[in-house]
Amino acid sequence: MRQLLWDHGWYRHATHQPSPNFGPRPAGASIDLLVVHSISLPPGQYGGPEVLQLFANTLDWDAHPYFQQIRGLEVSSHFLIRRDGSLWQFVSCDDRAWHAGASCWRERSNCNDDSIGVELEGLEGETFEPAQYQALAELGEAIRLQYPLAHVAGHEHIAPGRKLDPGPGFDWARLQQLTHWPRAWFPPEVAV
């Protein structure tokens, strides 16, 4: 089953757009954490190509005033789930994507080393679409078949005080209901 789902860390049911922003994971990394993010460029505007361009290092920094704040940023995520539930992948899950930054969770720092990052197209404080929860749950279950998943957290949890995504509009209980993942996998501060 899982051989049908994955090819060297690439999920077969995603559209692949390889990003140059990645590196090797540390030897022996146990990939047991799923990090949920939200992103939209410009913030609050959905459906455009800008997030894909950001991860490809092709975003035109002069195209919008907000982009001055992130000019030169080189980042990536393993996945992006758009508002319609469509799924994109930028980095093999076997490799280290650049989504978490300075972070700590389950008493391990530098979460990029041993996590998988999923960006939901959205904005902190706003809600997310049913199709996004469905896609996230299906992706999460596919990850669980291939990697020793045992934790899920938001960027706001692994980088408190620095990051706010996905924010209070993300319904953790809904993700738990769709996946049936154990309560202990979730951050203690969220209601599931």
Residues that bind Zn ion (CB under 5 A): 37, 155, 165
Instruction: Say which of 50, 119, 124, 156 is annotated catalytic.
Output: 119
Q: Residue 49 burial by CB count (10 A; 0-12/13-18/19+): exposed, middle or buried? A: exposed
119 is catalytic: yes
Q: What CA dihedral angle connects 110, 26, 9 and 134, to 10 degrees?
A: -20
Between 142 and 153, name the residue whose CB sits nearer to Zn ion.
Answer: 153
Say how far apart CA 103 and CA 26 lie, in whole Å.
16
Between 6 and 119, name the residue whose CB sits nearer to Zn ion.
Answer: 119
As measured in angstroms, the least distance from the Cβ of 163 to Zn ion is: 5
As measured in angstroms, the least distance from the Cβ of 37 to Zn ion is: 3
As measured in angstroms, the least distance from the Cβ of 155 to Zn ion is: 3
Q: How many CA atoms lie within 13 A of 183 on its CB side?
A: 5
Between 37 and 78, name the residue whose CB sits nearer to Zn ion.
Answer: 37
- Within 10 A of 146 (CB to CB), how many other CB atoms are there? 18
Active site members = 119
